[in-house]
Amino acid sequence: MADIGEISRGVPLELLPGVLVYPDAAEVARGAARWFVDYAWQSIAKDGRFTVALSGGNTPRMMFEFLASEEFRGQVDWAKVHIFWSDERTVPPTDPESNYGMARRELLIRIPIPQGNVHRMEAEKQSIGRAAHEYEEVLRKYLDLDDRGFPRFHLIFLGLGKDGHTASLFPGERVSRQTSRWVSTPIVEKLNVRRMTLTLPVLDAASRVVFLVVGPEKADILRDVLQGKSDPPYPAQMVQPRDNGMKLFLVDDAAASLLSPLAGSKDAPGEKLEENARGRPEKNT
């Protein structure tokens, strides 16, 4: 892989179309915070609000820390932001494994967002199936629908598991675009647990989907997802935003170490991609 050690801070290398490589995990998180800010700005200007689904994990946690910092916090009109989740574990919010709980600790209590703008998945309820139906009603209340009748987020953040899963859509489970459900509660057999997750058609309906992938342990699966031909495809491969939706992978140098760059790719075109996607001058972040 091309050496990105000398790329200036915050300017990623676009190693493949839609794959932006940063020097390390912290810079991936900072880059994700910048995308959050700019997508929020665009969406609020266009639609009067910004709807975003968050994910769990260490890199989102760092992104939350950046967003809650003095550097970024004042750049978002939080009163017009509505926060949702892409998936959740069947634990209460106080549990260390709760995706909502982590976001609350690192972000939500540190920003001036109205409590009514935070919409968590209540996956700990005794009837998780009923909780999934209730979350669908929440989505119906706050999100516009696309021409296929699915809710359309402005932005969804996703991770990538070493087995190719994303959100709580796991290999070997029934992952299909044919479902009419917006929220499902699959049993993850390999973990012997149940989860709540947005379905593939909802992920595909998003205006923008951003994967955050860091660490050398993700290098094999990132290569397979981006440049392999798995049969059946990995769930992460199946996410394909439609209707001119954008899909980005923000990755660190370690995760990208096994990728083969396209012939003729330039050293650092990520800056141009960001400028085109944002449609406004870059903030000094």
pLDDT score for 130: 96
pLDDT score for 274: 53
Confirm if 196 and 183 have CB atoms less than 8 A apart. yes
Residue position matching structure tokens 């009923």: 130
Q: Contacts by 124-130 with C-beta closer than 8 Å and gap 24+?
A: 124/90, 124/91, 124/92, 124/93, 128/90, 128/185, 128/194, 128/196, 129/185
Tokens of 144: 């516009």
Confirm if 73 and 33 have CB atoms less than 8 A apart. no
Bridging pattern class, strands 87-89 and 193-198: antiparallel
d(CA 191, CA 212): 22
Using omega within 30 degrees of 0 as the cis cutoff, is the peptide bond preceding 93 cis? no
The residues, ordered by sequence, that sit 6+ positions from 244 with a Cβ below 8 Å of its Cβ are none
Angle at 259 between CA 256 and CA 260, to 5 degrees: 145
pLDDT score for 230: 82
The residues, ordered by sequence, that sit 6+ positions from 70 with a Cβ below 8 Å of its Cβ are none
Distance of CA 132 to the CA centre of its chain: 20
Confirm if 239 and 198 have CB atoms less than 8 A apart. no
pLDDT score for 10: 60
Could you tell me how many residues make up the chain? 285
Residue position matching structure tokens 């769930």: 235
d(CA 226, CA 252): 15
pLDDT score for 263: 52
Helices (H), 89-177: 99-106, 128-142
Q: Strand pairing partners for 87?
A: 197
Query: CATH says 15-162+178-274 is which class?
Result: alpha beta
pLDDT score for 282: 40
pLDDT score for 280: 44
pLDDT score for 49: 98
Domain limits of the chain? 15-162+178-274
pLDDT in tens, the chain (285 residues): 444 444 455 689 999 999 999 999 999 999 999 999 999 999 999 999 999 999 999 999 999 999 999 999 999 999 999 999 999 999 999 999 999 999 999 999 999 999 999 999 999 999 999 999 999 999 999 999 999 999 999 999 999 999 999 999 998 777 777 788 999 998 887 778 899 999 999 999 999 999 999 999 999 999 999 998 888 899 999 999 998 899 999 999 999 999 988 754 444 444 445 554 444 434 433
d(CA 78, CA 159): 24
